[in-house]
Amino acid sequence: MNRKTELLAPAGDEECLISALDFGADAVYLAGKTFGMRAGAKNFDGEGLERAVKLAHSRGVKVHLTCNILPKNDEAERFPEFIAAARDAGVDAVIAADIGVMSMVKEVAPDIELHVSTQTGVVNYMTARELYKMGSRRVVLAREVDLESIREIRRKIPEDMEIEVFVHGAMCVSFSGRCLISEYLTGRNANRGECAQPCRWGYYLMEEKRPGQFFKVFEDEHGSYILNARDMCMIDHLDDLVEAGITSFKIEGRAKSAYYTALTTNAYRAALDAVLRGEKPAQWVLDEVNKISHRPYCTGFFYGHPNEGSGSQNPDEVTNGGQYFADSGYMREFDFVGVADRCENGTMYITQRNYFTVHDELEILAPGREPIKFAPKILVDSNGEETEIARRATEKLTVSTDICVPPHSIIRKRVR
User: What digits encode the pLDDT tens for the residues 270-291?
Assistant: 999 999 999 999 999 999 999 9
Confidence of residue 319 (pLDDT cuts 50, 70, 90): very low
Angle between helix 73-89 and 46-58 (nearest 10): 40
The reported pLDDT for the residue numbered 182 is 73
Residue 374 bridge partners (DSSP): 362
Angle between helix 147-156 and 125-133 (nearest 10): 40
The reported pLDDT for the residue numbered 28 is 98
State yes or no: pLDDT of 323 exceeds 70. Answer: no
State yes or no: pLDDT of 327 exceeds 80. Answer: no
Query: Under CATH, which number does the domain 6-174+229-318 receive?
Result: 3.20.20.70
pTM: 0.85
Confidence of residue 308 (pLDDT cuts 50, 70, 90): very low
State yes or no: pLDDT of 312 exceeds 50. Answer: no
334-414: CATH class: mainly beta
Least confident segment among 119-128, 206-215, 236-245: 206-215
Residue 365 bridge partners (DSSP): 410
Kindly state the percentage of the chain with pLDDT values over 70: 85
Confidence of residue 189 (pLDDT cuts 50, 70, 90): confident
State yes or no: pLDDT of 314 exceeds 50. Answer: no
Q: What is the mean pLDDT of residues 63-82?
A: 92
Confidence of residue 213 (pLDDT cuts 50, 70, 90): confident
State yes or no: pLDDT of 362 exceeds 70. Answer: yes
Confidence of residue 320 (pLDDT cuts 50, 70, 90): very low
State yes or no: pLDDT of 265 exceeds 80. Answer: yes
State yes or no: pLDDT of 123 exceeds 90. Answer: yes
What's the distance, CA 156 to chain centroid? 29
Distances (CA, A) of 388 to 84, 149, 262, 380: 53, 56, 27, 8
Select the more confidently predicted residue: 189 or 325.
189
Characterize 341-373 residue by residue with b for buried, 16 or more Cβ atoms within 10 angstroms of its Cβ, and e for exposed. Answer: eebeeeebebebbeebebebebbbbbbeeebee
Residues of the chain within CATH 3.20.20.70 domain(s) are 6-174+229-318
Check: CB of residue 194 under 8 Å from CB of residue 188.
yes
The reported pLDDT for the residue numbered 68 is 87
Residues of the chain within CATH 2.40.30.10 domain(s) are 334-414
Residue 39 bridge partners (DSSP): none
